[in-house]
Chains A and B, each alone.
Chain A
Amino acid sequence: GENVEQHPSTLSVQEGDSAVIKCTYSDSASNYFPWYKQELGKRPQLIIDIRSNVGEKKDQRIAVTLNKTAKHFSLHITETQPEDSAVYFCAASITGGGNKLTFGTGTQLKVEL
């Protein structure tokens, strides 16, 4: 089955700096890669996603890149703000296979003032 690894497990940045979180996946059939943000005690919420036929996607301060050959994808947050502090999870799925998500183990991002 699919295995998703995520690094780093914790990340501390100064407000205004950029943050990068990296994930690798094992199943070359995976074709959908969402990123979820989970604030303490709250439900995970989708912040951005990318399909395998796209190499990069941006949404304001957030961007995701995908390298299918290397089977890795990354989340980039620019101009970080304190409200970006949360746990971020990457995930992978096969959209034709029920779309069950295989998650990475999460990155605790702390944005310091």
Chain B
Amino acid sequence: GAGVSQSPSNKVTEKGKDVELRCDPISGHTALYWYRQSLGQGLEFLIYFQGNSAPDKSGLPSDRFSAERTGGSVSTLTIQRTQQEDSAVYLCASSLRSQGVYEQYFGPGTRLTVT
């Protein structure tokens, strides 16, 4: 079946502009996670959703970052007034549930470059 998809695959934006990143999880997966991977670094947790609720937003770096999920499916991560330090690959993952041992399946990521 279809895996996790993300769009766009690449995004180049000017400093100060807003960007929206989209994640389509695997159908039926109620949990959705956003991570950020900076060049040569590990993955850093940003936020997760169970259904449409976000119980843990602790990884969002600043109030310029926000995310929402509607209909228990698609999620968008919005970065306002982008800064150069926001440049990274943003990865989305989904799993059947957020409680219990369920594999997280990752999308291909969106490479964001802020010039």
Contact = CB atoms under 8 A, between A and B. Distances in A.
Interface string B30-48: 0101010000011111001
Interface residues of A, number: 25
B81 to A, nearest CB: 26
Contacts of A6: 42
Given A98-B48, A98-B55, A44 B99 contact: no
A96 to B, nearest CB: 6
Contact of B43 (A1, A89, A96): A89
Interface stretch (B15-23, B63-71, B72-80, B105-113): B105-113
A106 B38 CA distance: 12
Interface in B42-61: 42-45, 48, 50, 55-56, 58-59
Given A89-B42, A100-B48, A103-B44, A44 B91 contact: yes
A103 B103 CA distance: 15
B98 interface: yes
20 contacts: A6-B42, A43-B109, A44-B43, A44-B106, A45-B106, A51-B101, A98-B48, A99-B31, A99-B95, A99-B98, A99-B101, A99-B104, A100-B45, A100-B59, A101-B35, A102-B45, A103-B35, A103-B43, A105-B41, A106-B42
4 closest Cβ pairs, A-B complex:
A103-B42, A43-B106, A105-B42, A103-B43
Interface of A: 1, 6, 32, 34, 36, 42-46, 49, 51, 89, 91, 95-96, 98-106
Given A44-B106, A95-B99, A95-B101, 17 more contacts: A1-B58, A34-B103, A34-B104, A45-B106, A46-B103, A49-B103, A91-B43, A96-B99, A98-B55, A98-B98, A99-B100, A99-B102, A100-B48, A101-B35, A101-B43, A103-B35, A106-B42
